[in-house]
Structures are given as structure tokens and as C-alpha cells.
Chain A
Amino acid sequence: MARKTAGMTNQMISAQGLTKTFPAKGKVVEAVRSVDLEVGAGELVAFLGPNGAGKSTTLRMLTTLLPPTSGDAIVAGSDIRRDPAGVRRRIGYVGQGSSGGHTQRVRDELHAQGSFYGMGRRETRARAAELIESLELGQVAGRQVQSLSGGQKRRLDIALGLIHRPELLFLDEPSTGLDPHSRANLWEHIVDLRRETGTTIFLTTHYLDEADQLAERVMVMDHGQVIADDTAWALKESLAGDRVSLTFETAADAAAAAARIGGAASGQVVTVTAPGGDRALPRYIRSLGDAGLDVTAATHRQPTLDDVFLALTGRTLREEAAHAEASAEPALA
């Protein structure tokens, strides 16, 4: 695989103290507060956080769309402040909105995008055909962008972001608003892309399951700060632990059991967090049974990233999402 490496090091993104404040109605919104980031070549990183956490703002600074209030970053070998053009040539960016012009035809947009990146005519056409094929846009290639479905538009956005074979691809909520089938489809494309080309991928998402299954590295952002950064597995292991729940005959038994094993009783059910919950479960059943507290049902659940977020912030991401959807902002924050 012939691929130019960015700069001297193997780092794709290296940011120190990135900060962005916006003036808003006399107050100052601290959208991003002193974020440090290190992403190596070939990594797939999911940037997770509730609405307004500062994910898009961070991406917009890294992609040279917004100048940081303070802090610096080297992205794909170029400094975002001193050489924004160098950054732009090397990265692909799929924003939170839809990138295709509404009255443009799909194939025309891909051709225009190729010329924007200085590609030759023949090369652009070949590359556009390749992307149309691999992102399954063949049926709609001659149609106007405004006539596409949400999933088709999103696939076009990704094709546009990939036209010049960037070393580093930023994706801002690539799967938001898609049905589960289209989401799964899109993810397959992203995973394939990474496997086949080794592209470094940095994406934001609200979907915990997505980050959980597909990215080996998860960064959690909240109130403008990165509050956790590790593999999904390590985050869950260190921050959340497994959930064991035990059901008893009576609430009194449950309360007694909770007191013994240090869990929380709610009605007849006791929940307890334990590292290595699968091994803890038979132990609990045995020792509680010996004490005359018979367990009638037991479950063991692996922690989710939602549990991680809860452990970190005391809030759940689901609550946040429901809250944000209720006070829905326009799609482009």
C-alpha cells in the first residue's frame, strides 16, 4: 500500500490546549476548553458526547473551518494556523449537514469535488465511478441531490469526503437521522474503507452502540472537555464494572441481601456493580443462599458506554439525548 505519511511522526492529529469561546448575548460560551488530542495514523476514534458538548466545534477547529481562540494543532502534518491549505489538501471532512448542492447532480458534484482538490479530469472521473460503485450510488448518480433519501445523501457526503483519498477522514455524526438498516450499511462502508486503505478516521457520534462496537478508541466529551479517552473495553472495565441483578421472594429479603453484598435494592431486585460479574454471580447466589436469602432470578449484564458516561458525569447520555431532542435545535449547530 503506497501511502504518503504525514510529516515526520506517525501522529495524524496532535493538539494542545485547543480552546474555543463564542460570544453569545453578552455572555461567553466556552464551547471547547483546553482539549489535548493525540491520534496516531490508522486509528479509528469515536468522539462521544451529548448535544452541545463541543464535538463539532473541535472538529471545525481541526479542519481549519474555525480558528481556535487559543491552543495549537498539527493535523496530517500541517499546522492548522500556519498552513491551513496544507491541512485541507490532506484531510477529508464530512460535516454534520449535507454536502451536496441541492440542484446539482450526484455525479457532477463528485466531478466538481475532484477539481476542487486539483485532480485531473480523467483521474476524477475514474475515482468518482469507483466511489459511486462502492457506496452504491449507481442508481442515483444522474439525479439531483435534492431528490435523494437521507441515507443516499449521507453516502454521497462520504463519497465527496473521500474523492482525493485523504489520509485522515473526519466525520461529524455520519449516521444521525438514518434508519437502523442504513446506519448499519454506512458503518460497513466505513469499516471497509479503513480495512482496505488504512485511512485514519475520527468521527463523532451520539450512538453508544456504534462507538462501542466499531471504534477501538473512544473519547468522551462533556462541557467542552475530554473527560475520558481509552478503548471502549478499558473504559467499561475501569469506570463502570459489570452489572449483576438478583431477584428475591420478598422485598425484605432483597433489602437484607443488599446490605450484605453492598448493592442497591429496589423492590425485590438488588443491583450491584462488580468487576468480573460473571464470576461474582455464582458466588453471590451461594453465599446469600447459605444465609437463607434465596435468589429466584439472576442476570448479569456487561456495562455499556452509557454506564461509563453515567459513572463519569452522573447523567446518562440517553437522558441527554431525549432532552436535546425535545428542545431540538436546527440541524446545523
Chain B
Amino acid sequence: MTTIDATARPTGFLRDTASVFVRESRPLVRDPFSVIFSLVQPLVFLGLFGPLLIGASGGDAAGTLQWFVPGILVMVALFGTASTGANLLFEMQTGSHERTLVAPLSRSALLVGRALKEVVPLVIQGTIVVLVAVPFGFSLDVPGLVAGLAVLAVFGIGFGALSYTLALACRNRDWMFWMVHQTLLFPLMILSGMLLPLEDGPAWMQVAAAINPLSYIVGAERALLAGDFGAPAVIGGVIAAAVTCAIGVVVGVRAMKRAR
């Protein structure tokens, strides 16, 4: 064997992040159907909840979809990224996470590269949901969709990072990961006005919605997908997404640095 000296060369944060991102994205590229498969749930919501909402609203299909589809987009982002920590949890149990810890990778890159990967399925899935709704009367505003997906992507990176943080905190205790996941997910979803309007709910629900960052994201998505860039809700959503992202990444990087 010819021995070219191949002992590892120093890398930086950006290169490491790219390496981790590429590794995490590869299964999606190899098996794109998995991305579409996880769309079943949101599409079921769209298909079964949509007609009920249209019925309740007195038959204005287009108007109801305009209100409802952005909620489904947020749901896609929420569900997709909330459970992503389970992959890391599994890799911590098998030993493949340990392998990445022995490699000369920056700890921050291990988290950021993973969190950035969340954007890929999210954008694909969001686009599909919107395209499915168009024949039923949803009116598509392309710049609005792009902006809406961008806000969701920022939120998704942060929420994915939080899911990874939870996984790091729950190592060897899957049940705890899933318990926290289940306990938080549905209240977060319902108390954001994603599926049903909260305006007619009791006061406590409105208070809960007001402190739920997801409510602001939902509001911003409704405005953006309608092409209404100037709405005040947009600013609220952008801030909520940015704050989620910043907190997620900071907390996640700290957890990853302590991981072993």
C-alpha cells in the first residue's frame, strides 16, 4: 500500500458545518419518498379539517383555505422539526454520535449542521402543501410563499435545535424525550390558532396564545401567503422566528459542547 500522508487536516466551523449538513441531508437525497411520506399527516388535516372549516364558515372555500393553508404550513414545520432529535437520540445509543465526537469537528458545527438540514424537507413539504391546495381555490402569491417559507425555515432551524437539545438532555431515556415532545406539541399547536381560530376562546387561551411564539408565526404566514408584506403580523412573526432560532442554536450548541 502506498502511504500518502492523509492524517486529518485542520478544518474550520463553516467547512465542518457543511460536512455535517451534507451527511444529514444524504438520506433525504437517497430516499426522497421519506420526505413525501411524512406529508401524509398534514395532508390528512388539510383534506379532512378543510371541508369542515369551509362548511362552518358558510361555504367560502377560497377564503377559508387562504386562512387554513398557512396554518398547515406551520404545522409541517412544527411536526417535522420537533421529532428530529429522535435521530440524534438513536445515534447516541448506537455509537455513531460518539464517532462524530472523536472526529476533529467543531462541536458547534455538529449542532448547526444538523439544524440547518431541517430546512430542506421543510421547504419541499411546504411547497407541496401549497401546490396541493391551489386546485381547490387557494390563491398562490409566489413572493409571499418564498418569504413565508423563509420565516418558517428560520423557525425550523431553531425548533430543530431545541429538539436536538432535548435529545442531548435525555440521552439513554427515550421515554423522557417522547414524553416532553408529546406534552408540549399539541398545546403549542392548538394554542397558536393554527387549526381553529382562538378569537372566540376563553380569555386564558388568548393569554396563552399571546405568549406562544407560534401564534406570531401563524399570523405572519397568513399575511405573507396572501402577499400582504406590510401587515404588522409579519414583523411579529419574523421576530418570533428569529428569537426561536437564536435561543435554539445557543442552547443547542451549549448542550452539544457538554455532550459526551
Most chain A CB within 10 A, of B9, B10, B93, B103, is at B103
CB within 8 Å of A: which B3-23 residues:
3-11, 15-16, 18-19, 22-23
Q: B98, A65: Cβ atoms under 8 Å?
A: yes
At the interface, yes or no: A236 with Cβ under 8 Å from chain B? Answer: no
At the interface, yes or no: B173 with Cβ under 8 Å from chain A? Answer: no
A166-B5 Cα distance, complex, nearest whole Å: 9
Which interface class (under 10, 10 to 19, 20 to 34, 35 or more) fits A?
A: 35 or more
| Contact A165 to B7, CB < 8 A, known contacts A93-B102, A98-B94, A117-B104 | yes
Chain A residue numbers with a CB within 8 Å of B16 are: 116
Q: Which of B1, B6, B18, B98 makes the CB contact (< 8 A) with A164?
A: B6
Q: A116, B3: Cβ atoms under 8 Å?
A: no
A117-B10 Cα distance, complex, nearest whole Å: 8
CB within 8 Å of B: which A77-104 residues:
85, 88-91, 93, 95-104
A89-B16 Cα distance, complex, nearest whole Å: 13
Q: B91, A88: Cβ atoms under 8 Å?
A: no
Q: Closest approach, in angstroms, between the C-beta of B196 and any C-beta of chain A?
A: 36
A18-B136 Cα distance, complex, nearest whole Å: 68
Q: A88, B104: Cβ atoms under 8 Å?
A: yes
- Chain A, residues 296-333, CB within 8 Å of chain B (1/0): the string is 00000000000000000000000000000000000010
Chain B residue numbers with a CB within 8 Å of A279 are: none
CB within 8 Å of B: which A146-202 residues:
160, 164-167, 196-197
A102-B96 Cα distance, complex, nearest whole Å: 9
A115-B104 Cα distance, complex, nearest whole Å: 10
- Chain B, residues 73-114, CB within 8 Å of chain A (1/0): the string is 000000000000000001101111011111111000000000
A95-B18 Cα distance, complex, nearest whole Å: 25
At the interface, yes or no: B254 with Cβ under 8 Å from chain A? Answer: no
A235-B161 Cα distance, complex, nearest whole Å: 52
A116-B102 Cα distance, complex, nearest whole Å: 10
At the interface, yes or no: A112 with Cβ under 8 Å from chain B? Answer: yes
Q: Which of A60, A90, A116 makes the CB contact (< 8 A) with B7?
A: A90
At the interface, yes or no: A264 with Cβ under 8 Å from chain B? Answer: no
Majority secondary structure of chain A interface residues (helix, strand, loop or mixed): loop
Q: A167, B7: Cβ atoms under 8 Å?
A: yes
* Total cross-chain contacts (CB, 8 A): 119
At the interface, yes or no: A212 with Cβ under 8 Å from chain B? Answer: no
Which interface class (under 10, 10 to 19, 20 to 34, 35 or more) fits B?
A: 35 or more
Chain B residue numbers with a CB within 8 Å of A108 are: 23, 26, 30
A119-B6 Cα distance, complex, nearest whole Å: 8
Chain B residue numbers with a CB within 8 Å of A105 are: 26, 30
Q: B5, A3: Cβ atoms under 8 Å?
A: yes
Most chain A CB within 10 A, of B3, B11, B98, B99, is at B99
Q: Which of A1, A101, A113 makes the CB contact (< 8 A) with B3?
A: A1
Among residues of B, the one whose C-beta sits closest to the C-beta of A94 is B99
Q: A101, B10: Cβ atoms under 8 Å?
A: no
Q: B3, A65: Cβ atoms under 8 Å?
A: no
| Contact A4 to B1, CB < 8 A, known contacts A100-B96, A103-B27, A117-B104 | no
A66-B30 Cα distance, complex, nearest whole Å: 35
Q: A88, B103: Cβ atoms under 8 Å?
A: yes
A196-B8 Cα distance, complex, nearest whole Å: 20
A153-B62 Cα distance, complex, nearest whole Å: 54
Q: Closest approach, in angstroms, between the C-beta of A60 and any C-beta of chain B?
A: 8
Q: B30, A165: Cβ atoms under 8 Å?
A: no
Q: A65, B101: Cβ atoms under 8 Å?
A: yes
At the interface, yes or no: A23 with Cβ under 8 Å from chain B? Answer: no
Among residues of B, the one whose C-beta sits closest to the C-beta of A123 is B6
6 shortest interchain CB distances as A-B pairs = A97-B95, A117-B8, A112-B23, A118-B9, A115-B19, A99-B99
What are some 23 contacts across the A-B interface (CB < 8 A)?
Answer: A2-B5, A65-B260, A89-B7, A89-B9, A93-B102, A96-B95, A97-B95, A97-B98, A99-B95, A99-B96, A101-B27, A108-B23, A109-B23, A112-B22, A113-B103, A123-B6, A127-B6, A164-B6, A164-B8, A165-B4, A167-B7, A197-B3, A332-B95
List residues of B whose CB falls within 8 A of some A CB: 1, 3-11, 15-16, 18-19, 22-23, 26-27, 30-31, 90-91, 93-96, 98-105, 260
